[in-house]
């Protein structure tokens, strides 16, 4: 049975969050912490990598044009995106 459109949106949302955490080199388990999106960060370059992935994947899954996918990314990043800190070094243990 084919998934309903709402299920596809929810699945894409979780995939996008996990991809963001993978790019920023954070563990997936942090999404269960309160305010996880405020406590962790990523660099501007990591955000651009995530944005490129998001736009391509949204285009494939929902048949969106690039302009609409970019707008969806901006809303998604505003709601769930990590803070930008260009001094962040994923290799350094804090």
Cβ 41 vs Cβ 88: under 8 Å: yes
Domain membership of residue 20 as a residue range: 7-84
Question: Is residue 90 a part of any domain in this protein?
Answer: no
Q: What's the pTM value of the predicted model, to 2 decimals?
A: 0.87
Question: Is residue 80 a part of any domain in this protein?
Answer: yes
Question: Is residue 59 a part of any domain in this protein?
Answer: yes
> pLDDT value at position 65?
96
Query: What are the pLDDT tens digits along the chain (94 aa)?
Result: 445 556 899 999 999 999 999 999 998 888 888 888 888 999 999 999 999 999 999 999 999 999 999 999 999 999 999 999 999 988 875 5
Number of domains forming the structure of the chain: 1
For the chain, give percent helix, strand, coil, nearest 5: 65, 5, 30
């Amino acid at each position: 049975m084919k998934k309903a459109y709402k299920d596809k949106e929810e699945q894409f949302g979780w995939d996008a969050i996990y991809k963001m955490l993978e790019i920023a080199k954070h563990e997936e388990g942090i999404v269960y912490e309160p305010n996880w999106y405020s406590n962790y960060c990523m660099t501007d370059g990591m955000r651009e990598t995530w944005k490129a992935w998001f736009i391509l994947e949204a285009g494939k899954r929902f048949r969106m044009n690039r302009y609409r996918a970019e707008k969806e990314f901006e809303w998604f990043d505003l709601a769930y995106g990590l803070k930008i800190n260009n001094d962040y070094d994923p290799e350094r243990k804090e």
